[in-house]
Every structure is written in C-alpha cells, then in structure tokens.
Amino acid sequence: MADTLVQLVSADPPAVHAQARTDINGRAELFLGPFGEEVPTQLEIQVGSGDSMTTLPLQTTEDATPIAIALEQAESAGKVLDVMFVIDTTGSMGDELSYLQAELENVMVSVQDRHDEIAIRLGSTFYRDSGDDYLVRSVPFTEDLDTALTGLRAQRADGGGDYPEAVTAGLTDAIDEHEWSTSAQARLLFLVLDAPPHALPDRIEQLHALTLRAQAKGIRIIPVASSGVDRPTEMLMRAMAVATGGTYTFLTNHSGIGGDHLEPTIGDYEVEYLDSLLIRLVAGAVTPR
C-alpha cells in the first residue's frame, strides 16, 4: 500500500519517535534518533490507513529482514503526484536555472504522457539570501503546467555574493507553506543548489526539523547538486535524501552546465542526461516494481 502512515512509538511515556509514509511499493524506512535524540528501548510499530490501525512490538533481526504488516481495511492512495522544485536563484546558478527553464516542460510533458491516469501537481520555490531582492518566492501547486512553467520562466539568477545561501528559508517555504496532497502516490521535492545553508546553530536545528517533517509528510527530497557544491554540502544533501527516502543526484563535468563539479564520494556510476534522469526518477516514484 502506497502512502500509508508508519510510526515508531513508545507507550511509557506516550510519544512518536519516528514516522514516515510508504512509497509506491509499500515500503517505509525509519531512523531512530538521527540527530542524536534519546529514544526508549521499548518501542512499537504503528501502521495506519483510513480507519485501519495495526500495532505490534518492534523486534530487531540480525539480517535486517523487512517487517511485513497486513492491514485489513487499508485505503488506496490518491491518484496524485506532487512535484516541487526548490531552486537556488543566486547569480552562480544562472546556467542551471536556464537549463531547467528550457527543459522542464519536456520532462513534465513526458511524465504526463506516460502516466495520464495520475493528476500531476507542479509547484516551485525560489530562494536567494538575506540582502538580495528577495529571500523566497514561490508558485503554488497547480495541475496547469503552463501556469507552473510561467512562474519558472519569470525567474532570473542574481544576487548572492557570499558562499552560503538561504537554503533553510527555501525548504521551510516548500515543506511548510505549500498545500501538499493529503493522499498521493508520491510527493517529490527536487532541491537544485550549488551552495550550502548558513551553518548557524539555529539553522542547523531548522534543517533537522525540516528533514523530520518532510519524512512525516511523505515528501522525498531529491537533491540535484550543481557546480560549486563542496564535500560538507554533499554529505548534508545525501543525509536528507536517505532520511526522506529520496535519491542523491548530481551534475558532472560532462553536463557542460556551470563550472567545475565535485567528484561524488560514491562507487561507480553511469552518466545520463539530466532530463532523462528526472523523467526516470519521477516515473519510478509512481510505478510499482
């Protein structure tokens, strides 16, 4: 069952310690205390859909065997796909923004053609930094592709100046201020950036909280690391992707977009065109294996 609530809870004291929503294959991964929080030793799993709620004790296994849970009265997820683009629009992102403005229509039309049974809602959030013309601008979710693309085409890359940017403000707007579907096949957030957030204690705490809220809402963060991303930013983006069930993606020097690109700290990988990658990731989110 897709988009089913999964929680790890304690009875004494009553509390929710981790929560997520299942993907199109009915799978959810939860992480206990990812940011150093204390958690009790006695936990239960709660799985709920519609009026059906199942609770059972958490039992660990040596071989990490998935825990399968059956629901007798589960409700099917809505035939909806939410796609949100969160884009750094400071001056250094000019090439990446121009690419998205030129190619995103082809990406979304291709997805619509392949999945005409699903209502696709597209939204966007654009951010810069304090002192720029704006901190955050956004376009609400809409099923009208022309409306969504008009908002994207109106953007220009400018401002910035120092290395860190207002990543936290952009994510806060995207996760908290937009009306995400209450029931959906998938909710995807593409985070396109080339610079880290400001490494201030309150901003770091915000990022932790935003990651947990995205996980709880079933929003899967898919970073698109662009030229200029450094190693700490790569690690942060990979952690957010893992925690929310997303996929860490990155541009390489093969793209010809932007400046020099960081060699990722992963094993072998295949290079593909960015539009093909986006189509594949979106299609995979709504196509059961």
Strands (E), 59-107: 80-88
Tell me what the mean pLDDT of segment 16-44 comes to: 91
* Entry pTM: 0.94
Tell me what the mean pLDDT of segment 42-60 comes to: 87
Least confident residue range of 44-53, 57-66, 67-76, 100-109: 57-66
The pLDDT assigned to 70 comes to: 84
Q: Is the pLDDT of residue 254 over 80?
A: no
* 231-244 helix and 201-217 helix, angle to the nearest 10 degrees: 30
Q: Distance from first CA to last CA of the chain, Å, rounded?
A: 13
The pLDDT assigned to 72 comes to: 79
Residues 6+ apart with CB under 8 A from 45: 6, 7, 8, 9, 55, 56, 57, 58, 67, 69
Sign of CA dihedral 6, 8, 14, 16: negative
The radius of gyration computed from the CA coordinates of the chain, to the nearest angstrom, equals 19
Secondary-structure class of domain 80-286 per CATH: alpha beta
The pLDDT assigned to 175 comes to: 98
DSSP label at 33? S
The pLDDT assigned to 13 comes to: 85
**Beta-carbon neighbour count of residue 262 at 10 Å?**
19
Cα 206–Cα 222–Cα 22 angle in degrees, nearest 5 = 90
| Report for 44-53, 175-184, 273-282: range of highest mean pLDDT | 175-184
**Tens digits of residue pLDDT in 83-140:** 999 999 999 899 889 988 988 889 988 988 888 899 999 999 999 999 999 999 999 9
Distance (Å, whole) CA 142 – CA 132: 27
Phi, psi for 114 (deg, rounded to 5) = -80, -25
Contact 153, 114 (CB under 8 A): no
Distance (Å, whole) CA 138 – CA 170: 9
Name beta bridge partners: 10: 15
The pLDDT assigned to 124 comes to: 96
The reply to whether omega before 40 is within 30° of 0 (cis) is no
The pLDDT assigned to 189 comes to: 98
Cα 277–Cα 283–Cα 284 angle in degrees, nearest 5 = 90
Q: Where are the domains of the chain?
A: 1-77, 80-286
Least confident residue range of 61-65, 199-203, 225-229, 257-261: 257-261
The pLDDT assigned to 136 comes to: 97
